[in-house]
Chain A
Amino acid sequence: MAEAAIRLEQAGYRRSAVVEWLTTVDHKKIGLLYYWTSIIYLLLAGLLALLMRIQLAQPDMHFLGPKTYNEIMTMHGTMMIFAVAMPLNAAFFNIVVPLMIGARDVAFPRLNAFSYWSFLFGSLLLWSSFLFGHAPDAGWTGYANLSSSRLYSAGPGLDFWNLGLQVLGISSIAGALNFFVTIVNMRAPGMTLMRMPVYVWMVLITAILILLAFPSLTVGLFVIMFDRYFDTLFLNPVHGGDPVIWQHLFWIFGHPEVYILVLPPMGIISEILPTFSRKPLFGAPFVIFAGIAIAFLSFFVWAHHMFTVGLGPVPNALFAASTMLIGIPTGVKVFNWLATMWGGSIDFKAPMKFASAAVWLLMIGGVTGVMHATVPLDYQQHDSYFIVAHFHYVIFGVIVMALLGATYYWFPKMYGRLLDERLGSLHFWLTFLGMNLTFFPMHFVGLDGMPRRYFTYSAETGWGTWNMVITVGAFVLGLAQVVLLLNVLKTMRRPADAPADPWDGRTLEWTIPSPPPAYNFAVIPTVRGSDAFWLEKYGDGHHDAAATDISERRKPATFHQDNPGHGLPAGVHLPKPSWWPMIVSAGLTAMAAGMVMHGTETLGSLGFPVVGLGALVVFFGLLGWHFEPAIEHEEAHVS
């Protein structure tokens, strides 16, 4: 079928909209696929959180049983990290990075599609565990030997988790390679590294982090898989193995993962604040080097997740010190952002509301982070709701808030429309209120000794009052996201009339129409400095300080283009749509699904045949991929 479609293609037939999206290698379309998939997952995993909040609203509730609760808790965490925060970041990598660096696409467009399809299929494999009644239930951290021994986690739940994450990991590594090469090689002429937008810098650092950190997770997952499937004893203490090995492997990945999630949102904040303050980012090189420092240090802090494991005072003290060091570049960023706003002319449109709130929320999450870097305090706070409060301030307060801000900021580049400002404001205030109402009281119940991952608690603990507040807050937070959906529905009914540069932006994506044509730039711009577009519009502020009025200063930008023409400008070669990325992803996921089947009693005998079938699909898929010409030479379909 795939081959037939490709023959049709070559014969010059128009593709249907469905085929268009299934075979697209256009970074903007792939970005939208990433975006909507992860937004749907955000809502689903958010619903899981609401189920947990109902169960915990009062002591001794019987809304969810213990096993169901653990499954929901595990899926909430796993999905929010791997299928929401990471791909939502990837969505904006795709939508924005090539536009910001003046490129026509990413370096490997088909690999890009492969990343998306692997993410989709891998996450569907994980979600499907609910359909089979065996969702993973060992927490998103999947601590051994609870997760590695079928004695303690019978059924295929942990196998779904293990193999689903492997597929998602392959997707992330492929995506990271792609963006690393894209950013290094495909910048517009004149865009030196230090002229690169800070967001692109953060994406570059993130790509390197993913490439270095994910292999550790891959190895760890293989260790668990071998213990579960082939009776190896890596993590089995009865026979001299050690379950703590998994914790090391996991956190050597897991702590850089935190920065993989948070550095791109820090980049987003670094783009939004200057645009809406009409000022350049204060100390941009400092912010960039702070990002590099955070990334570097993130590999030397993993054991701060393991202070109670009993590594001894010397490792604990050393890892506490390295963890506190990370507080320094993080503090630098916060101060630089505040200084960016200082003295500016700040327009608090929706993106700015989200971005400046994220700065403040990062301060709270950062302060509590230093608290558990203080080892003795961590002896009390570890695995309590205090930790839950801390990481939700970082993951929701910074990452999700910044990504919601990014949605408002770059929606014109996604759909050629501006989201409604009043609904945006409502969305922001409900989200801000709901998130603080949900996550701040978690500090209190944490200090009052409530451990995380408890499916219930008794009335005598006295945790009931704050838990009720938390539950109310969670529902406000959930409701707030409905406003976003309403806003999108309302906006999409209006004509696509957003101007190319609605925010008076500073970077190259605002030089091209909203939404951009398939080829992005008819003429590749030449960059003369950082904040390239602002420089062309207003000149260098240092030499022209007398004229302070926007209308006086503004010059027609030299590379501002508005090419409405059909077809491609001469000399532009667009990558050719392809079925192969999806086919290879499907084969890969079939291999993972086969392994899951192999672990079950009923379908066990089908397991290896399905793995073999998947492997064949991957093999022939890669052959097809290899022999397919990558560039569409004549009469491209531009839409």
Chain B
Amino acid sequence: MCCGEGTGRVKKTRAIRLRRSWVSVISLIGLASSTSGCGVIGGKIASTSDPAGDQARHIWDLFVVPVWWLSVAVFLLVTVWMLLNIVLFRRKPGDTRIPAQVHGNPRLEIAWTLIPAIILALIAIPSTRLVFQLNRDPGPGSNALRVQVIGHQWWWEFRYPEFGIVTAGDLHLVVDRPVVLSITSQDVIHSFWPPRLAGKVDAIPGRENTLVFTPEETGVFYGQCAELCGAQHAHMQFRVVVHSQQEFDAWVDKHRRPAPDPAPGTLAATGKQLFEGAAGCAGCHSMNPTYDPSTPINKILAVGPNLAYFSERQTVAAFLPNTPENLHRWIAETEAVKPYSIMAEKWWKIRAQQNQLLTPEEVDAIVAYLRSQ
């Protein structure tokens, strides 16, 4: 769809990456020298110092030059002056001298009114420029991917109006292709934050906010909620899966229709029956990866995350790695895994009260079904 444009973009990106290399050399020296060696920050799944998207990179570059270096200068100035005061002017025992009673020096004071002003201007100019550059919608003419992001207590829903595809937990993007995220919430205020790709933008019910960035590396990136949104705020993660364009096209094709049903007679088939029947899962969770994009965003109300093609999901319950064990535990002991979640409050607890909790075999069957999808 956009291969012609893609090559030009790669070149541009390479130029950016070259520029990035000297910035990162400086940043490495700076951070290493001042924070006692490497390993203090960086190298972690949410490190803002390891950008993998253009927005995160612009922000980190601005942090290093000029903000970090000016900060080091101010730090050194004040620290050295304070140390000199302490060393030079400490009162010796028995010293009864009255020092010169200096009441001030207007010239000096004007000077150190101007110094912070200049430092701040040096920061304000590139900062303001970047503010206007970030999160600007490139407009309908661009090849930007458009995704709607909807925050829920406590999981993330992603809708691709262009393809009529809906998913949850994992946001699928294309490397070097800008994405325009339209972010809102269905309940309380959340904040969408993939630290290595971009800064955060609040997901506010009744409002739509825009986050624009371009992923610059393929792979799986960590994301999380950054605005206190209730008990399980800490367990509202997502992943950003950055594909090549071909991989992404294949992913879209696959998701245009539901996954095939499990073969009759298998454990997974039993699971499907339970899922849609006695276990009551289908009341909240859809297995259909498509939706009608003409529906206004505030008219589509999801209770639980869409589970179509669950086997490819990165997480269970928006924070555990997607393994059969974790999935089993999540269904069997919901209340222990993620208390206060809707599934714990409105499904597990009620079934526990009515003595209708699933048997381990039933849970196994549902796990088999979801893993088969």
Q: Could you show 6 A-B contacts with beta carbons less than 8 Å apart?
A: A321-B128, A336-B109, A370-B120, A371-B71, A380-B59, A380-B199
Q: What residues make up the interface of B, taking CB atoms closer than 8 Å to A?
A: 35, 40-49, 55-56, 58-60, 62-63, 67, 71, 74-75, 78-79, 81-82, 84-86, 89-91, 95-106, 108-109, 112-113, 115-117, 120, 123-124, 127-128, 130-132, 134-136, 153, 187-189, 191, 193, 195-196, 198-202, 204-207, 209-210, 222, 224-235, 319, 339-340
Task: Determine if A313 and B71 form an interchain contact, defined as CB atoms under 8 angstroms apart.
Answer: no
CA distance A455 to B234 in the complex (A): 6
Inter-chain contacts of B319 with A (CB < 8 A)? 458
Max chain A C-beta neighbours (<10 A), residue from B105, B120, B195, B319: B120
B residues near A309, Cβ cutoff 8 Å: 202, 204, 209
Confirm or deny: A277 has a beta carbon within 8 angstroms of a beta carbon on chain B: yes
The reply to whether B228 and A345 contact each other, CB–CB distance below 8 Å, is no
Q: Which residues of A contact B340 (CB under 8 A)?
A: 66-67
Determine whether the beta carbon of A332 is less than 8 Å from that of B41: no
Closest to B90 in A: A346
Q: Given that A284-B104, A448-B47 are contacting pairs, would A317 and B226 also be in contact in the complex, using a CB cutoff of 8 Å? A: no
Residue from the set B101, B130, B227 with the largest chain A CB neighbour count within 10 Å: B101
Which residues of B lie under 8 Å from residue A284 when comparing CB positions?
A: 103-104
Query: A-B pairs with the 9 shortest C-beta distances?
Result: A379-B199, A449-B46, A237-B206, A541-B101, A331-B116, A283-B104, A310-B209, A462-B44, A449-B195
Q: With a CB–CB cut-off of 8 A, which chain B residues contact A238? A: 205-206
Chain A residues, Cβ within 8 Å of B198: 379
- The answer to whether A377 and B67 touch across the interface, beta carbons within 8 angstroms, is yes
Stretch at the interface among A116-124, A407-415, A547-555: A547-555
Q: How many A-B residue pairs have CB under 8 A?
A: 305
**Stretch in A164-172, A199-207, A252-260, A360-368 touching the partner:** A360-368
A383 touching B45, Cβ below 8 Å: no
In the bound complex, CA of A367 to CA of B120 (Å)? 10
| B85 touching A346, Cβ below 8 Å | yes
A229 at the interface (CB under 8 A from B): no
Residues in A with CB closer than 8 Å to B102 are 279-280, 282, 339, 343
List residues of chain A with CB within 8 A of the CB of B187: 152
Name the distance in Å between A373's Cβ and chain B's nearest Cβ: 8
CA distance A120 to B209 in the complex (A): 43
| CA distance in complex: A338, B91 (Å) | 16
Q: Which residue of A lies closest to B196 (CB)?
A: A449
Q: Are B199 and A308 in contact (CB under 8 A)?
A: yes
Binds B, one of A25-33, A86-94, A137-145: A137-145
Q: Does A335 contact B (CB under 8 A)?
A: yes
A538 within 8 A of B: yes
Residue of B nearest to A455 (CB): B234
A242 proximity list for chain B (CB < 8 A): 206-207
CB distance from A382 to the nearest CB of B (A): 6
Known: A67-B340, A463-B44. A342 touches B85 (CB 8 A): yes
Q: Is the CB of B225 within 8 A of A342?
A: no
A328 to B117, CA, bound (A): 6
Decide yes or no whether A451 CB sits under 8 A from chain B: yes
Asked whether, in the complex, the Cβ of A343 is within 8 Å of the Cβ of B89, the reply is yes
Interface contact A313-B131, CB-CB below 8 Å: yes
Map CB proximity to B onto A533-571 as digits: 1 under 8 Å, 0 otherwise: 000001001100100111101000000000000000000
Asked if A461 CB lies within 8 Å of chain B CBs, one says: yes
CB distance from A185 to the nearest CB of B (A): 28
What CA separation (Å) do A538 and B108 show in the bound complex?
Answer: 27
Measured between beta carbons, the chain A residues less than 8 angstroms from B225 are 451
Contact A454 B233 (CB under 8 A): yes
Closest CB-CB distance, A500 to chain B, in whole Å? Answer: 20
In the complex, which of the residues B75, B84, B233 has the most CB atoms of chain A within 10 Å of its own CB atom? B233
In angstroms, Cα B189 to Cα A11, docked, is 62
Contact with B along A376-387 (1 / 0, CB 8 A): 111110111000
Contact indicator B226/A384 (Cβ below 8 Å):
yes
**Considering the chains assembled together, what is the distance between the CA atoms of A70 and B340 in angstroms?**
13
B101 with A542: CB separation less than 8 A: yes
Name the A residues within 8 Å of B49 (CB-CB): 447-448
Q: Is the CB of B231 within 8 A of A67?
A: yes
Residues of B within 8 A of A377 (CB): 59, 62-63, 67, 127
Which residues of chain B come closer than 8 Å to A67, judged between CB atoms?
Answer: 231, 339-340
B103 touches A371 (CB 8 A): no
